[in-house]
Amino acid sequence: MLSYRHAFHAGNHADVLKHLVTIQLLRYLGQKDTSYMVIDTHAGAGVYALDGGYASKNAEYESGISRLWDRKDLPPAAAEYVDIVRQLNPDGKLRYYPGSPYCADAVMREQDRLRLFELHPSDGKILTDNFRRLDAERNPRGNGRGKRVMIQLGDGFHGLKALLPPPSRRGLVLIDPPYEVKEDYRHVKNTIEDALTRFSTGTYAVWYPLLNRMESRQMPDKLKRMKANGWLNVTLTVKTPSPDGFGLHSSGMFVINPPWTLEPMLKELMPYLVKVMGTDSGAGFTLESGQTKAVDTGTRRV
């Protein structure tokens, strides 16, 4: 299906969680001189205007990035994330929001590689135009960025296979499908199972919504059974689910082969996000890992 447009949801609480985690995963990879590759299977448009078009219709960013924008007490990981958003808004007014490709590009080094897939033809064209514009700004003489960033208009589930393992044997695969149809959940599971046979030491980060449907609820348990060195699962809930079950109140990031630094960072960060973005007593978080089997929970009381 090609009806989904991420612009409707740009900058919401789910994006905050997804991009915070992604940035920290890349910071860890960047601690070694050896290059790494980032593969984004569902890249979207790259940049989203918040003051017009799709994003302004529901203004979901007001439940996410807007709640962090003017804070002076941001934890280090949140401050780094907000700084990246500020790079697109140099006048200090929140008008543009970076998608996963731009967040990754802001953290990656010259020797690292970014591979982007987008199936939706309109978003694929916008993504290509956005990176072409970024190239022109950074390379006014037209030198270009060579092979550092490559964009493919196609299905990332299938395209991933040809890229694994990356030449440096170091990398992050970000999987963030729209989940409009239940087959997406099966595609995620099958794609990671296959990817682990090709690149067992890679880090895989899966964003998923927490919805009132069986496939959504079963997703984490299925991923926990993957043959890997470990896993981490973090969820953020900003409000009590509505009686009719509509609306995104909660989402998660499931990381396979996570760095050891991720869990302690999230233990500090998640209570803060609940405090700042939670809207009622149903707000909270869960944080669990395959190493400890322990589950941390936090709930905001109002």
Q: Which residues are catalytic?
A: 176
Residue 68 has pLDDT above 70, yes or no: yes
Amino acid 212: pLDDT: 84
> Considering only 101-115, 153-167, 287-301, which range has the smallest mean pLDDT?
287-301
pLDDT band, very low/low/confident/very high, at 298 (cuts 50, 70, 90): low
Residue 19 known to bind ligand? yes
**CA 10 – CA 8 distance, rounded (Å):** 6
Q: Which stretch of 50-64, 183-197, 198-212, 219-233 has the lowest confidence by average pLDDT? A: 50-64
Whether the upstream peptide bond of residue 209 has omega within 30° of 0, thus cis, is no
Q: Name the nearest CA neighbour of 63 among 112, 21, 107, 14.
A: 14
Confirm or deny that 33 is annotated as ligand binding: no
Dist CA 274 CA 151 (whole Å)? 35
For residue 53, what is the DSSP state? Answer: T
What single-letter amino acid sits at 76? P
Q: Is 105 among the annotated ligand-binding positions? A: no
The pLDDT tens digits of the residues spanning 130-180 come to 898 887 776 665 555 557 899 999 999 999 999 999 999 999 999 999 998
DSSP codes, 182-247: THHHHHHHHHHHHHHHH-TTSEEEEEEE--SSHHHHHHHHHHHTSSSS-EEEEEEE-SPPPTT--S
Selection from 26, 47, 27 nearest residue 37 by Cα: 26
Confidence of residue 24 (pLDDT cuts 50, 70, 90): very high
The response to whether 66 counts as a known ligand-binding position is no
Task: Say if CB 284 and CB 50 are below 8 A apart.
Answer: no
Report whether 156 belongs to an annotated binding site.
Answer: yes
Mean pLDDT of the chain: 89
- pTM given for the model: 0.91
Q: Which CATH number fits domain 14-47+96-290: 3.40.50.300, 3.40.50.150, 3.30.2270.10, 3.40.630.30?
A: 3.40.50.150
Per-residue confidence (pLDDT) for residue 137, from 0 to 100 = 75
The reported pLDDT for the residue numbered 11 is: 94
Cβ neighbours for 43, distance < 8 A, ≥ 6 positions apart: 99, 100, 101, 116, 117, 118, 127, 151, 156
221 backbone dihedrals φ, ψ, rounded to 5°: -65, -35
User: Residue by residue, what is the 3-state secondary structure of 113-156?
Assistant: EEEEECCCHHHHHHHHHHHHHHHHHHCCCCCCCCCCEEEECCCH
- Say if residue 74 is exposed, middle or buried (CB neighbours under 10 Å; 0-12, 13-18, 19+): middle
* Band (241; pLDDT cuts 50, 70, 90): confident
Q: Specify the pLDDT at position 3.
A: 44
Lowest-pLDDT range of 190-199, 208-217, 268-277: 208-217
